[in-house]
Chains A and B, each alone.
Chain A
């Protein structure tokens, strides 16, 4: 169980109250798939490395966070928000990512095109990948960059599926742990 000691200072007095906040119990993972299918895990690591080649690392974390939000992968969100913050990404851009269509001025046009593509490729069963989304991305990335970007989006979707299905536990990742 995770507990958290919170010191609350009342603004009207100098009284300080020490309160212990009790969070819900932590769950266990369903399946340690990386140990049970080490060949698949190793292939995923190689695929991840191949897909991220040539993709801007700042953009890559935005892509990974957005896909993980859509897929509700808590484990991947823990990992990629921590990695993004450690790499100097702003809290505002991470927070606003879940409502990016209403906060476009936080991102570059190229980032927005990549985020829109991430959204479409992730929610694939809701209308395929629309032409306008694809063409917006094609206007900001050359063909080779686009091929890598699509691969990167696909790979984080794969990690999300492992994370959610095996119910991997978020909260323990430390930035750069697997780098």
Chain B
């Protein structure tokens, strides 16, 4: 089935996905950069620098937060949601 590009770009998120993403973000924020996707890995010095400033529980949540915003970025960029847009 073909979706017209103009309408497909504003495809709304399934309510279940949206709710789950919000729950994930909320969960990650309880603990509280720049992230590059693809390639790289996370160097020891970067990880250890963070580990010096956050205890394990806070670090686990910080990683959750970074991952959650990476998720939101992908959901918005892939569907080209306009800046300031209220429909997503």
B36 within 8 A of A: yes
Distance between A168 CB and nearest chain B CB, rounded to angstroms: 12
- Complex partner residue of A135 from B5, B66, B75, B77, CB under 8 angstroms: B5
Distance between A166 CB and nearest chain B CB, rounded to angstroms: 7
A175 within 8 A of B: no
Contact string against B for A residues 135-152, beta-carbon threshold 8 Å, 1 for contact and 0 otherwise? 100110111101110110
A124 touches B73 (CB 8 A): yes
* Pair count A-B, CB < 8 A: 160
Q: Residue of B at shortest CB range from A148?
A: B14
Contact string against B for A residues 28-63, beta-carbon threshold 8 Å, 1 for contact and 0 otherwise? 001101001101101110110111010000000000
B74 touches A40 (CB 8 A): no
Provide the main secondary structure of the chain A interface. Answer: helix
B74 touches A50 (CB 8 A): no
A residues less than 8 Å from B26 (CB atoms) = 43
How far apart sit A153 and B79, CA to CA, in the bound complex (Å)? 13
Provide the main secondary structure of the chain B interface. Answer: helix
A40 touches B16 (CB 8 A): no
Distance between A176 CB and nearest chain B CB, rounded to angstroms: 22
How far apart sit A114 and B54, CA to CA, in the bound complex (Å)? 38
What is the size, in residues, of chain A's interface with B at 8 Å between Cβ atoms?
54
27 A-B pairs (CB sep. < 8 Å): A31-B60, A37-B60, A40-B27, A40-B31, A40-B64, A42-B27, A43-B28, A50-B17, A50-B19, A53-B14, A53-B16, A71-B37, A121-B77, A121-B78, A122-B38, A123-B37, A124-B37, A134-B5, A134-B78, A138-B5, A141-B1, A146-B3, A150-B75, A150-B79, A154-B74, A157-B71, A161-B35
